[in-house]
Structure 1
Amino acid sequence: MTHDQDTPSTHRPAATRATSRDVARAAGVSQATVSLVLGDKWRGRVSPGTADTVRAAARDLGYRPNLAARSLRMGHTRTVLLVVPALTTEFFARVYTGAARVAADHGFGVVLYPSPQGIGPARDPFDSAAATLDGVLASSMAAEALTALRAADLPLVMLDSDPDDERATATVNLDIADGARQLTHHLTALGHRRITHLAADVRSWTFDVRSRAVAASLAQVPGTRLHRQPTALGVDAGLRAAHAALTGPGPRPTALLCDDDIIAAGACKAVRRLGLRVPDDISVTGFDDLALAVAVEPELTTVRLPAEEFGEAGMRALMAALDGRPAQPPTLPVQLVTRGSTAPPPATPDNAARPGGR
């Protein structure tokens, strides 16, 4: 029996792990060039176009460096920690996707660590963070989870955080204040003057920014009455907060401005349970533009946050810090998305009526 001689091919059995030689062959470069690019030491030695080609080839082949062997050679783990409030939140799942993509391009692995209960302190997930991690990327909503990690003195990039936070090597932010202003301008342009802010009752820089921006923006519109109704993050919590806002003393609000889409979904339920309609009687807005925003009826007017790009920008800032380069993280723009949950307030005396009477 004879066997055909193997011929070179970029196709390998599924169980065979791609090597740096495979990447070099696919990219048309040397293995040394692959090592420079994937080791993030290519600047000044390899053109940006070639570096992009190498990274694309590595992604296409599913190449992953042997981090354990590289750690022994370089004295680094090539591992970073991403700290988020919860794994069940779609927004942070998308942040992880973007961050992991950039980390992989630089030959880094990402350990995803959710803060227990979403917020609050957490134990160090490793016996010694300094010995097992090279850096940390963290959401400001999970900032208290970093308590056990601070002694490790690792490079720290904060997401959605106070730019003056001295703990952080760099901060990467979304233009949250502008998003809040876009929402308030939208509602006031429709004619709304009685607006209740269903504000997330969470100690976090990002929600503080929203509250300040909403208040400052509405203060510039004559005749506007703003009420703030604190609420936990959740559909049921949003329902209870909206019910309280709609049935409390005084004129009923014509619009509910919610700190996120999940709260807004609960607010829409409260409106319907009171025999009212969205947006005919009450306009409702969200924040984040989660999949939920188009799952409810009517679909939510909300602010779209570029979650994957946010994760990418944060990881690039961390990679720059680890490479000893100055990080110049951008503030990412956000976008108002107008859908069916907002409309002009009804021009009738019923505007001031309580559900079931005056």
Structure 2
Amino acid sequence: MTSRDVARAAGVSQATVSLVLGDKWRGRVSERTAGAVRETARELGYRPNLAARSLRLGRTRTALLVVPALTNEFFARVHTGASRVAAEHGFGVVIYPSPEGIGPARDPFDSARTALDGVIASSMAAEALAAMRGGGLPLVMLDSDPAATDAAATVNVDITDGMRRVTEHLLTLGHRRFVHLASAVDSWTFRVRATALAEGLRGVPDAVVRTEAAALEVNAARQAAERALSGSGPRPTALVCDDDIQAAGACKAVRRLGLRVPEDVSVTGFDDLALATSVEPELTTVRLPAEDVGARGMATLLAVLEGRPPESVALPVELIVRGSTAPPPP
């Protein structure tokens, strides 16, 4: 099976097939024709000779995806989305998680840089970013401050809107005494959450928020929540957690203190992991489009490699209201 066979079956020229399957058809071939060529190639089971094509282009058709941890479901979904788009364009994805399992990853491929075409990175350390830029590799950042990097583009989710929705939901229920169970990892995404929560409460005269930092794991979050709920003064009625794992720990703390979720204390998470519907009551949380983040990151990198202008985006989020939130006790 050759590209000539695809061209004949689709009723187009072999050059058109090459443009479409090489993802260089925009501005040269109509979208309808491109779709017909791709469908014909699928029906015929045609696979382009990517090895030969890579030699002609001087590329390995390999992207590096750097994430803080693969044990976190969010980043596993990011990888799924990136790999799906990469496969559609004949690319492979090499994934590198931080050796520590959390926090910024370090520069992973100093000796193998020539085997990569570009990098998609989330929460990467500054020195690693400098090394990647020095190697001349195109870089797309995920979950990172657009103003603090000179990457080709950034792909984020609208974290500010997510925390704003959580805050408005709890205020509408009547809550005024909050604890922010904050991530101990110092990264842009968690700083944005803290800022958005503070701003959402600023205009409410009787609202009070206290911060307890905790690692992104259940036991650390449970201990932090127990401290917050056992302190002096009026007991907080809402625990706002930076992610669902912390929220699960917060729910354990509430129960261990002989209290109930949500009758005595409301708990919110962030991310909408599978865990959010595995606990009882199920978590009110913010759903982040993790697969879309990975897919958009890979598509943006491909645009850079093809010489097309990349676009920085902030993908929308959704507040998912479940059983872990209710009006505060009278």
Same fold by TM-score greater than 0.5: yes
User: Match of 2:133?
Assistant: 150
Counterpart pick for 2:241 among 236, 255, 258 = 258
User: Match of 1:122?
Assistant: 106
1:69 counterpart letter in structure 2: A
Aligned partner of residue 241 in structure 1, secondary structure:
helix
Aligned partner of residue 65 in structure 2, secondary structure:
strand
Report Cα offsets for 1:71-99 as digits up to 9, x if no partner. Answer: 21111122111111111111111111222
Counterpart pick for 1:286 among 248, 269, 274 = 269
- How is 1:37-52 mapped onto 2 (pairs within 5 angstroms)? 37-52=20-35
User: Match of 2:163?
Assistant: 180
User: Match of 2:68?
Assistant: 85
User: Match of 1:190?
Assistant: 173
Give the Cα separation in 2 of the matches to 1:284 and 1:328.
36
Conserved 8 A contact 2:66-2:105: no
Offset at residue 45 of structure 1 (A)? 2.3
Query: Per the alignment, do residues 176 and 306 of structure 1 end up closer, same or farther by CA in structure 2, a change over 3 Å counting?
Result: same
Aligned partner of residue 164 in structure 1, secondary structure:
helix
Give the Cα separation in 2 of the matches to 1:206 and 1:213.
11
Q: Which has the larger radius of gyration?
A: 1
Give the Cα separation in 2 of the matches to 1:335 and 1:160.
17
Give the Cα separation in 1 of the matches to 2:93 and 2:44.
19
1:270 counterpart letter in structure 2: A
2:29 counterpart letter in structure 1: V
Counterpart pick for 2:197 among 198, 205, 214 = 214
Conserved 8 A contact 2:66-2:124: no
Report Cα offsets for 1:195-245 as digits up to 9, x if no partner. Answer: 000011112111111000000111111200100111111111111111111
User: Match of 2:316?
Assistant: 333
Query: Per the alignment, do residues 46 and 301 of structure 1 end up closer, same or farther by CA in structure 2, a change over 3 Å counting?
Result: same
Conserved 8 A contact 1:197-1:258: yes
Aligned partner of residue 34 in structure 1, secondary structure:
helix
Query: Per the alignment, do residues 210 and 65 of structure 1 end up closer, same or farther by CA in structure 2, a change over 3 Å counting?
Result: farther
Offset at residue 144 of structure 1 (A)? 5.9
Give the Cα separation in 2 of the matches to 1:326 and 1:217.
35
Give the Cα separation in 2 of the matches to 1:46 and 1:325.
16
Counterpart pick for 1:309 among 266, 272, 292 = 292
Query: Per the alignment, do residues 284 and 33 of structure 1 end up closer, same or farther by CA in structure 2, a change over 3 Å counting?
Result: same
- How is 1:232-271 mapped onto 2 (pairs within 5 angstroms)? 232-271=215-254
Query: Per the alignment, do residues 284 and 56 of structure 1 end up closer, same or farther by CA in structure 2, a change over 3 Å counting?
Result: farther
Give the Cα separation in 2 of the matches to 1:24 and 1:114.
42
Is residue 223 from structure 1 mapped to residue 200 from structure 2 by the alignment?
A: no
Of all paired residues, the percent bearing the same amino acid is: 68
Give the Cα separation in 1 of the matches to 2:126 and 2:8.
44
Conserved 8 A contact 1:81-1:110: yes
User: Match of 2:327?
Assistant: 344
Give the Cα separation in 2 of the matches to 1:53 and 1:321.
25
2:324 counterpart letter in structure 1: S
User: Match of 1:318?
Assistant: 301
Report Cα offsets for 1:1-31 as digits up to 9, x if no partner. Answer: xxxxxxxxxxxxxxxxx86567667766555
Give the Cα separation in 2 of the matches to 1:63 and 1:236.
52
Query: Per the alignment, do residues 49 and 212 of structure 1 end up closer, same or farther by CA in structure 2, a change over 3 Å counting?
Result: same
Is residue 100 from structure 1 mapped to residue 100 from structure 2 by the alignment?
A: no
Aligned partner of residue 77 in structure 1, secondary structure:
coil
Give the Cα separation in 2 of the matches to 1:91 and 1:22.
42
1:245 counterpart letter in structure 2: A
User: Match of 2:282?
Assistant: 299
Give the Cα separation in 2 of the matches to 1:260 and 1:105.
32
Segments of structure 2 that go 5 or more residues without pairing to the other structure are: none
Give the Cα separation in 2 of the matches to 1:49 and 1:92.
34
Query: Per the alignment, do residues 227 and 61 of structure 1 end up closer, same or farther by CA in structure 2, a change over 3 Å counting?
Result: farther
Offset at residue 173 of structure 1 (A)? 1.4
Offset at residue 288 of structure 1 (A)? 0.5
Conserved 8 A contact 1:158-1:171: yes
Aligned partner of residue 146 in structure 2, secondary structure:
coil
193-202 vs 18-27, greater mean Cα deviation: 18-27
Give the Cα separation in 1 of the matches to 2:9 and 2:213.
56
User: Match of 1:9?
Assistant: none
Give the Cα separation in 2 of the matches to 1:168 and 1:319.
14
Q: Normalising by structure 1, what TM-score?
A: 0.85
193-202 vs 102-111, greater mean Cα deviation: 102-111
Offset at residue 126 of structure 1 (A)? 5.4
Segments of structure 1 that go 5 or more residues without pairing to the other structure are: 1-17, 348-358
Offset at residue 268 of structure 1 (A)? 0.6
Query: Per the alignment, do residues 178 and 123 of structure 1 end up closer, same or farther by CA in structure 2, a change over 3 Å counting?
Result: closer
